[in-house]
Amino acid sequence: MERILIQNIKGFKIGHAEHLDGITGCTTILCPEGAIAGVDVRGGAPGTRETDLLSSENLVDTIHAMFMSGGSAYGLDVGSGIMKFLEEQQIGFDVQVARVPIVPGAVLFDLAVGSPTIRPNQKLGYTAAQNAYHLADEREGSIGAGTGATVGKCLGMDYSMKGGIGTFAVKVGELQIGAVVAVNSFGDIYDPETGEIIAGVYDQKKQSYLNTESIMFEAPPDQQETNRFSGNTSIATVLTNAKLTKADANKMSSMAHDGFARTMRPAHSMVDGDTIFTMSTNEIDADLNVVGHLASYVVQQAVVRAIKEADSLGGIISYKDLNKVK
């Protein structure tokens, strides 16, 4: 297994756009030739677009882009901007009278970080699509959908740390697979290789992690408060060239959630909308068991990179600042 850049996976184009005044943004992944796609929504508070279309029994099995966005439900508006850009490039599903770009997506809640009135919109989605189409964007961290992302919000934003966008990809023979993740979890983030917390509920006065699980387990049931409205949801997209049916892509999205479970505690809570998409250019024969396991691996590695590459923003401290990483 060889590590590669996510940009090396042929057929996909990744782009980001941000509103730094609002500390929010969006990320899009284009596949101009079309990608077989699937999705698995595990969190209890999702905000999504076109996910029903990806059910195995439904007609369309090819999408042309997907997006991850901040802004809560307002951020779903970026999908219209991406559609507009793709239509201008004559990319979409041919319905004879027009070409209709198929653009699923999901949103995360970041309204409490910057200005809640500045949100990703159609214009920002268009810009992200432009950037994806024309630029080779290799940035990670506090960009795109990860601009306002935070983690560890059990005790509110004052104890939270910075999340962000992370990517990770590998190559096994001709098989390529990678993940783009926007990490914005309610829970703490663990490095699965060391078992240590790398971001989460953090007491800056005591300079120590407080551990979300301990807080949840130790409080009497009638006094438990998980700050439900502080804003959460992590979103990932797995990119691959493996040959998949739509049913395979849905199953692979399900298997990829193991990457969230290994790195986020808790994951898939009622206050997260955790969602993972799969997109495939459908070229290389591969065992679904192998590809699904690799999907969970690249997701977990991308989660760790999202934390380690994020910069402090909006008064939210980052892993870099805590560990003095340049």
Model pLDDT, residue 229: 47
Task: Give the CATH number of domain 2-323.
Answer: 3.60.70.12
Residue spans of the domains in the chain: they are 2-323
Model pLDDT, residue 269: 82
pLDDT tens sequence across 15-66: 999 999 999 999 999 999 999 999 999 888 899 999 999 999 998 889 999 9
Phi, psi dihedral angles at 109 (to 5 degrees): -95, 115
Average pLDDT (245-255) is: 97
Neighbours of 155 (CB within 10 A): 18
d(CA 253, CA 292): 8
d(CA 14, CA 82): 12
Task: Say yes or no to pLDDT of 326 above 50.
Answer: no
pLDDT tens sequence across 210-248: 888 888 887 655 555 555 545 789 999 999 999 999 999
In this prediction the pTM is: 0.94
